Chains A and B, each alone.
Chain A
Amino acid sequence: MLEQQLVNGFTLGLIYALIAVGYTMVYGVIELINFAHGEIYMLGAFLTLSFISMGLPLPLAVLLAMLAAAAIGVLLDIIAYRPLREAPRLAALITAIGMSIFLQNLAMIIWGSRPLPFPKQALPAFFSEPALTFSDVTISWMQVIIYAVALLLMVGLNLIITRTRVGTAMRALAQNQTAAALMGINVNRVISFTFALGSAMGAMAGIMVSMYYNTMYPTMGYLAGVKAFAAAVLGGIGSVPGAMLGGVVLGIAETLGAGYVSSPYRDGVAYAVMILVIIFRPSGLLGRAVTEKA
């Protein structure tokens, strides 16, 4: 029983980690809580659905959805956030919430407010079958795929951040935007790249969740977004490995909390973790100590 809970919690945690990475990267470079990130996750699922219903094969649909989500993320930044770089931070945060609500309702208009199932016929039949079985623990193929994709994406992301020029530019921006600009870094382009990267990963998380639970609905990004944000805070906002760790820890904590403490308060675990971490250890598990810049 415990082992199965751990397996399920780990799956959920990887999903949170994929979303949390987007929050933490954007926060790292422009110090903005991108509230609309949860909506990108939701759009990933719905876009895949639409591409599949156009008759595209699954891998192509997923790839296109990720690209489209990345484009939406970049547009979001250019349209909504870029004009507010010099404005009070309150303004940017309110704008982010406004965009989140806007995108959520837009999805409701386009796809309707009722939950839709993931098109089963597009998925290979073996997805829902168990891949591995130890005594009483089963890991389905879907879970194996989530593990593989999530780990692949995270390793890839780490390589981008630590080994490429644009990754170096991102880290420079996170440290000091003015100094980075003086070194010849095109600040806006790097920020756009950050949004694209984070959005693509968030969309992938949305796609895999809609396959895993076989459902998608326009408000799914709200709760997932909040929890992923809690994960990012837990890991130390601004730290990419922290977001990954935070996601996994939160996923496991939530599943165990629901299983052993109180299942109605399942969603409360994320809120409680978020509040406690912010009050007692604002730098999170792996973050560096943050001081507010006025």
Chain B
Amino acid sequence: MSQANRLAADAPHQFGGAGLDRGKPLQFRLDGRAVMGFSGDTVLSALLASDISAIGTHTGVPMRLDEAFAPLVALRSDPTHALPLQRLPALDGLDLVTFGTAPRPQGLLSRLLRRDDDRSGSLGLLVENLSSPPWINAQPQARLDVDTLIVGGGLAGLAAAAAAKGRTLLVERRSWLGGDARFYGTTGDEEPPEASIARLSASPAAEILLHTEVFALSGTTARAHQVLLENGRPIGRIIEISARTVVLATGTFERLPVFAGNRLPGVTGAIAAFHRAERFGVWLGKRALFSTGSGFGYRLALLAREAGVAVQRVSDTRLGPNSRFIDFCKASGVPFTSGLVPRSASVAKDLSGLSVDFLVGIEGIAQDAGTTETDQLVVGGARQPELMLWLAAGGATRWAGDHLAATGPLPGIVLAGAAAGYRRAVACIASGRAAISGNAAPIDDPMIEAIYETPDGKPPVAPPVDGAPAFLDRGAALLRRPADPTSLLPGIAIGLGAVAAAVEIGAIPPAIAGQIAAERALTGGMITDTGWKLSPPPPSQQLPGYLTGRFGAKPQTCVVTSADARFFERGCLIFARSELTDPQQAVGSIIAAAPGGGIGGLALIEREASAGKTRLFVRDAGGAVPIERIRPV
């Protein structure tokens, strides 16, 4: 399969793929389909390069394949061993199958029948059948004890690693260091991100594990899943890491803007689009349309244009924004508009790309702003600090205007960088250092004045479109925008992006967004029968408290029998007249079987009633039964 979505090897700004070795082509198979790539690719990047950008369908809707939502795979020779497609290096000769789904038949007829799937660039999976990562509930295969565990290899994590003393481990899920710093570029006279990354990475203080994702954190003990090569063969292993201090430098993620069709193949987040191009030389299609609420969307458009992408337009969700990048766009002839939000994306009529409807996004006005066909819609979303591990460890969050921010301390755990709310590179680096030194002095994180750089816009929320689902988040939760924001949430764990989106659509009042995040944003966990058994207390000989005072202050305990020698069940009520049924008029109750297994039962009866000559009746399932004999115990 050709690599139709690969940019030129010599594309500027390293958009030929800084992580690739184009001199080392490779080929692997996934579900029998041959996929080409280069050394340095992940399986995901090679699939995207080969124009396989759909995972399959969900309730009939095509779903995109991306860094946040991809199936697990396994070696055909070891189909029980799941590996994450995003973190799995592409290797020549790999023969992979999607994990947990039925293998694709290899017969001629089957291949002919699924030809359309293969041509359409889809893995052809039913999203409903995808497995969740089995390692979340598995036992660790390795244990490490370190002084400091740093989660995240962005600028803050690298700065913390460089400053750390003692045994330090830095884990990074991606195949590279630097986080999203390269996407944001340089502000003012700051050190360029590449230079910062090189400088901080050069410090030898920490051991670094790439392709490793921390998926659980309890106290200062983390569990991570690592993909590594063993005898040239990819394997996954679970590591339990105990640390004295955990630095969460987990950065931010780009939220999914809420509009119909926001998870179709061809709709891509701006940060994901940047990394695909810069690391792997991958760009979906030839034409691209950009929707952004910040200056960085313009920057990406400019870089893409210089790398050979036909940039059709940059649509800004803000009205009349200012940015140095807008000035660059003007100078470069990149068309742009402002005050427009994507209303919906749909598969183009000729199936060759996307059809994107825009809407005037000014409050109170909902006017159509035309339709554009494109190969890729790059949408910049609001930034949300990645705080899932913070929450897993018991940390709290609160709504901070347009995102959930961490609040309060956690013993042994420190947030750093963008996860802690810092924006500028210098502040992220300083906060990484401070996480190690314990220096609580405020860190300067100046923003460019609004007259020069309009602040990032609030995430736009397009009105619902009948029959076209809008999802609230990326990832596996697949939570659609509810038709009625007051409807209950189904039984699914959701991410912080969905919580934030739910605030934006009015499903969650901002005051309780942190509470919802704590309840719903879980990093996994299974409910299983562990063999727990009830340990019943021994039967008590004492009269239960609930019978106290029920039949007078000094009731009589008696054995009662009937003429037909029946056994009375516990709980049966005793009345002074046969026609009475109201339990409040009962004068007694059967409280146990008769001693020695005899007929009748042991009763608790009002003293006066038991001593009186009036006949009493036990009411059981058969009706009122006269008591023949009362023998006090």
Tell whether A and B belong to one assembly.
Answer: no
